[in-house]
Amino acid sequence: MPFSKFKPLDEKSLIEYIKSVPSLSSKLGSNLDDVTIKEVGDGNLNFVYIVLGPAGSLVIKQALPYIRCIGESWPMTRERAYFEALALREHGQFSPEHVPEVYHFDRTMSLIGMRYLEPPHIILRKGLIAGIEYPFLAEHMSEYMAKTLYFTSLLYRTTMDHKHAVAKFCGNVELCRHTAQVVFSDPYKVSEYNHWTSPYLDGDAEAVREDNILKIEVAELKSKFCERAQALVHGDLHTGSIMVTHESTQVIDPEFAFYGPMGFDIGALLGNLILAFFAQDGHADQVNDRKTYKEWILRTIEEVWNLFHKKFIALWDEHKDGSGEAYLPAIYNNPEVQQLVQKKFMEDLFHDTLGFGAAKMIRRIVGVVHVEDFESITDARKRADCEHRALEVAKMLLKERRNFKAITGVVSAIKKL
């Protein structure tokens, strides 16, 4: 076989690769001379190709041995492709409606072939920038998170099964280290990769680095991130990892997947929705002041958590007498104690969610990689004003998260700021 060792593929060599893999070529039709290929990877790490054939389509994603948006000066393991394929298949078992099917994985080539999410699917972040409402977003994402987090946790699995599952993802250490660095470390110190909208946010960046309470709180979150193997989390569940239409919601790019705290996924989504909220003023114009759209975002934030809470508890109740060993029925054997356990679990998860979401927001404003929601605001002063208000909310949520009892309080706090 001509592809027995790794090499980055281009459009020409990719055609030859596809011809050599029946599980890919069969998706495109018999005449592969009519195949068209377009490289569309606008992310930070990988090559992504859309492949269109006479009788079908697919996407090829290939990991490089470095961070694409920075270059070879920041090496990155190609093994992330293995964990991405593994996570897509694991999560696809539990939420097939919201995870694209994997057709092929090649560990040597660090390559995944999967379903092409055809137009009008777009990246959710781009839809939020454009001011598009997605009526099923909260319903779909709450379902995806409830199922993937519940069914990969000790609430559903035996201790033995859970430990075996954790072990499968233990090798994704480099991406976990990368996340710990950019989310929990770099924003709180001087780092060569940090940047922000200067000079307007110079004081804000310094304030983050000098805030002792913030550092104490983020240290606790880092400890949970590194030490708590609660469930199989996507690991990078921001609005750039979700593709949407008005009827469809698909979660992509779980290369950062590992067994970690559930709140890291939920927080990533809610934190990025809060960033989108604060970015709207920078995209407003005389035709559309975005006020109605901002209200929709806040309703979506509220609905995501409330629907997740409802669905997660429903799964827990449905399987409470099953094989899960987190709370053994022989011990937690009456409705009162079961209700107390669930209440404590969900309160802790809510506070974790707020903390992780806030940490993700801070790193997107004064850390290494920012978000298009803000970056696409061309007026630097206006962008900085949006970022400043988002940063103030993030710091407040991180330091005061335990004071919130419900998502309505969070939404009210966002409105005030």
pLDDT in tens, 78-109: 999 999 999 999 999 999 999 999 999 999 99
Is residue 180's pLDDT more than 60? yes
pLDDT at 306: 99
pLDDT for residue 42: 67
Higher pLDDT pick, 69 / 352: 352
Burial class (CB in 10 A: 0-12, 13-18, 19+), 241: buried
Closest Cα to residue 370, out of 133, 186, 173? 186
The confidence score (pLDDT) of residue 72 equals: 77
pLDDT (average), residues 234-263: 98
Predicted confidence band of residue 44 (pLDDT cuts 50, 70, 90): low
- The two three-digit tokens of residue 66, written as one number: 């470095």
Which is it for the CA torsion 265, 270, 272, 273, positive or negative? positive
**CA 272, 185, 374, 388 torsion-angle sign:** positive
Q: Is the pLDDT of residue 1 over 60?
A: no
Mean pLDDT value across the chain: 96
Whether 67 shows a pLDDT value over 90: the answer reads: no
Q: For domain 11-114, which CATH number applies: 3.30.9.10, 3.30.200.20, 2.60.120.890, 3.30.460.80?
A: 3.30.200.20
Residue 398 has pLDDT above 90, yes or no: yes
Burial of 222 (0-12, 13-18, 19+ CB in 10 A): middle
Where along the chain do its domains lie?
11-114, 122-416
Percentages helix, strand, coil for the chain (3-state, rounded to 5) are 55, 10, 35
Largest CA distance in the chain: 66
CA distance 234 to 360: 14
- What is the mean pLDDT of the segment spanning 224-248? 98
Neighbouring C-beta atoms of residue 110, cutoff 10 Å: 24
Helices (H), 187-330: 202-210, 212-227, 262-283, 291-318
User: For residue 212, which phi and psi values (nearest 5 degrees)?
Assistant: -65, -40
pLDDT at 43: 58
What do you get for the CA distance between the two ends of the chain, in Å?
A: 60
The DSSP result for 312-332, as a single string, is: HHHHHHHTTTSS--SS-TTTS
User: What per-residue confidence (pLDDT) applies to 407?
Assistant: 98
Question: What DSSP state is assigned to residue 19?
Answer: H
Burial of 303 (0-12, 13-18, 19+ CB in 10 A): middle
Distances (CA, A) of 284 to 130, 189, 280, 288, 374: 10, 34, 6, 6, 12
Residue pLDDT, tens place only, 353-364? 999 999 999 999
pLDDT for the residue numbered 118: 97
Domain topology for 122-416? Aminoglycoside 3'-phosphotransferase; Chain: A, domain 2 (3.90.1200)
